A and B are shown apart, each in its own frame.
Chain A
Amino acid sequence: GESVGLHLPTLSVQEGDNSIINCAYSNSASDYFIWYKQESGKGPQFIIDIRSNMDKRQGQRVTVLLNKTVKHLSLQIAATQPGDSAVYFCAALRQDSSYKLIFGSGTRLLVRP
């Protein structure tokens, strides 16, 4: 079956440094990917998405890179701040199966002051 996995359960970074969170997916038919941020006690919050016809997309302080050859995507956070501390999930779906996002297990980002 389809699976989405993150490489590290926990990532610790110094405040001000850049963070890179990695994710791998198994289904080569996946063509849409989303990154969510989940703070403690809250529901996931959309950060950024990317379609398979792109290999890079940038938002405010965040960049998502997609490598379809090795079925890997990453989330880069520039100048990491204490407010970035959270669990980050990647999710994948096939647009022809529209509704079903497959979530990874999450990476907890800890920001050291």
Chain B
Amino acid sequence: NAGVTQTPKFRVLKTGQSMTLLCAQDMNHEYMYWYRQDPGMGLRLIHYSVGEGTTAKGEVPDGYNVSRLKKQNFLLGLESAAPSQTSVYFCASSYKLAGEYSYEQYFGPGTRLTVT
């Protein structure tokens, strides 16, 4: 299993440009998450999904949109990038088995985004 993969690994955008970050997991996990990580800070939850076709806002959702059209994929979109969105973005997933939720989240390797 590849686990959680993220595409791309690095990206530089100009202010106002748009892009989509792709997260894929091959573990058949129900739940998926997008976080951002800034220097000296912990991970902050942007959006999350508890299943195919459902999404919800996290702690810092402004400026981002997400979609979960397939169970294995979770897309994070930036419609009009701003320098404040320069960060490292991590995707994570977790499972639900026989009604019991696992809080352990499996993380991807991250996408380093710079907005100039």
Contact = CB atoms under 8 A, between A and B. Distances in A.
Interface string B4-46: 1000000000000000000000000001010000001111110
B105 interface: yes
Given A42-B109, A43-B4, A44-B90, A34 B42 contact: no
Given A43-B109, A43-B110, A44-B107, A98 B101 contact: yes
A103 B31 contact: no
* Main DSSP-derived SS at the B contact region: strand
A105 B42 contact: yes
A9 interface: yes
A4 B41 CA distance: 11
Interface string A22-51: 000000000010101000011111100100
Nearest to A5: B42
Contacts of B105: 46, 101
Interface of B: 4, 31, 33, 40-45, 48, 50, 56, 58-59, 90, 92, 101, 103-110
Interface of A: 4, 9, 32, 34, 36, 41-46, 49, 89, 91, 93, 95, 98-106
